[in-house]
Amino acid sequence: MNDLDRLRRRTVRILVLGVALGSTGHLAALTVATVVAERLSGSPALAGTPAAAVVLGAAFGATILAWIMSQRGRRFGLALGYLVGVGGALVAVAGIVAGQLMPLLAGSALIGFGNSSNQLSRYAAADLFGLDRRASAIGTVVWAATVGAIVGPNLVAPSRVLAERLGLPDLAGPYLVPVLFVGLASLLSFMFLRPDPMELAASRSDESGESVAEPLSRIVRRPAVVAALVALVVGQFVMVLIMTLTPLHMTTHGHDLGAVGFVISAHTFGMFALAPISGRLTDRFGSPPIVYAGTATLLVSGVLTAIAPPDSEVALLIALFLLGWGWNLGFVAGSAMLTGGVSIAERTRIQGLADGLIWSTAALASLGAGVIVGTAGFAALGVIAAALVLVPIAVLTLTRGRIPGAGGAGSFEPIGD
């Protein structure tokens, strides 16, 4: 193993640890967000507002941090994002102590901003490798969120005890978790992401030479970029659309919280734990086939969601696992395709746009899911999801001939020229 390979491995390990720490803090706070909001507002109707604030904060954070990274590099941008998340957690704690909802929402938005560093870390890993290994690097970093999904919610109970011992309201405890864990992620990123992943990308032979960024209006018309953006956005919308209302659907039809937790755990497992497999498959077969596989899996999940008997835990478990696995396949392969369709000088801008669209889409899906279920029933979510995933299949089919190369390397020729 040469020095460059050792440096790549070290940098990926730091990114993985940062995402594990960041996601742990983020999910610990998010686990109790609805309970805290209901307690502070006195209204169940406002219980979902912190989650919406987190998503909107992440959308803004992705765009802003991507611009900062284009000017100052990945290291500074990731560390800054995590640091903003720490500030958000402290603002939320202040709101809980004061018994005020608005500081909680402001803090939640800043926590979401910080979570953008978790998401953008996958692109920092992609910077380190050529197209033949890029998806595996993305999958490894996405996998790190599995740690947060397992550890974060399990820190809620002990953190509440700690808060009481400190003389704080018990529900302030989970918001102390990101102060520590996300703070460590910020420190880790700032201290140890040296050299900056973008510097390593610029030093590679396949990224060397002068690279001039084209206008964003031309970048978004490239076949690889179009196909990747559609796959990422539609996949996120479909996943959030179904996942958001599944717990309520299950409890309404007599399932206990243990069953709900088991189904959501299966969904989370599909979303994150299998990401390294998604990466290996993408490197082996290229992004387009794996995007097809992901959308096909989402299609099956949508159909199962629509036809599953409300009292069948097994059917819902399979549908939600496939929902997570299909999302993961499209997310890893789509992210790899996006990095392959742009030069290093253009990369951060289009990545920030992509993640901004992803999180904005998540907000729309969260808000729209309740309206759809209220007017047409839970099965309608599955029907809509199955119809929507036909869109990325159609777009990829139309553009695939102009997306050559392993890992989804994209043609730099805009569509329509």
Give the model confidence (pLDDT) of 341-359 as tens digits.
787 778 888 999 999 999 8
Check whether 227 has a pLDDT greater than 90: yes
Q: Where does the pLDDT of residue 25 fall: very low under 50, low under 70, confident under 90, or very high at 90 and above?
A: very high
Please state the rounded mean pLDDT for residues 240-255.
Answer: 84
| Pairwise CA distance, residues 150 & 147, whole Å | 5
Q: What is the mean pLDDT of the chain?
A: 88
Mean pLDDT on 361-368: 84
Is the pLDDT confidence value at 414 over 90? no
What DSSP designation does 195 have? S
pTM, to two decimals: 0.87
* Ramachandran quadrant class, 405 (left: phi over 0; alpha: psi -120 to 50; beta: rest): left
Is a pLDDT exceeding 70 seen at residue 88?
Answer: yes
- What residues contact residue 358 under an 8 Å CB cut-off, 6+ apart? 59, 62, 119, 232, 233, 236
